[in-house]
Amino acid sequence: MALVIQDSVAVAANTTDNNVLSGKRNATIDNNVAGLVTVYATGSAAGLTMDFFAGKRNAIERSAMNTQNRFPVKPDDAIAGGILAAPGDELSMPVENTTGGALTFFYRIEVEEINPSRLGG
């Protein structure tokens, strides 16, 4: 069973929320497991971009998303999947609003926990 983080956040005009996952319990990978992460996202209108980090690895860089103005639907709104998160990694997702008005960012993060021995290292 996957761990899930799903939420929405309003991003003010011409600003960046440095980490919409801040304070979410499932945004830190347990020290005893690794994770395969899938990121889903939509926005209320064009003009939002997002990054996604697993630890220090920038797995998604300045990506736009569908403008459906609703929570993401699987699999239609997947941005990326199979992102490896190592034991202890913190997940972070900065979101930038490049427009002159406030926009809403909707997201869903799924983390499939795996035994680190499956990684072969």
Q: Would you state the pLDDT for residue 46? A: 98
Q: How far apart are the first and last CA of the chain?
A: 24
How far apart CA 64 and CA 42 sit, in angstroms, is 9
Q: What are phi and psi of 71, to 5 degrees?
A: -65, 150
pLDDT in tens, 77-102: 999 999 999 999 999 999 999 999 99
Q: Among 1.10.10.10, 2.60.120.380, 3.30.470.20, 1.10.3720.10, what is the CATH number of 3-114?
A: 2.60.120.380
Q: Would you state the pLDDT for residue 120? A: 62
Picking from 7, 50, 58, 4, the residue whose alpha carbon sits closest to that of residue 27 is: 4
Q: Along the 121 residues of the chain, how does pLDDT read in single tens digits?
A: 789 999 999 999 999 999 999 999 999 999 999 999 999 999 999 999 999 999 999 999 999 999 999 999 999 999 999 999 999 999 999 999 999 999 999 999 999 999 877 666 5
Picking from 70, 54, 52, 72, the residue whose alpha carbon sits closest to that of residue 62 is: 52
Domain chopping of the chain, boundaries:
3-114
pLDDT in tens, 29-38: 999 999 999 9
Q: Would you state the pLDDT for residue 118? A: 65
**DSSP conformational letter for 17:** E
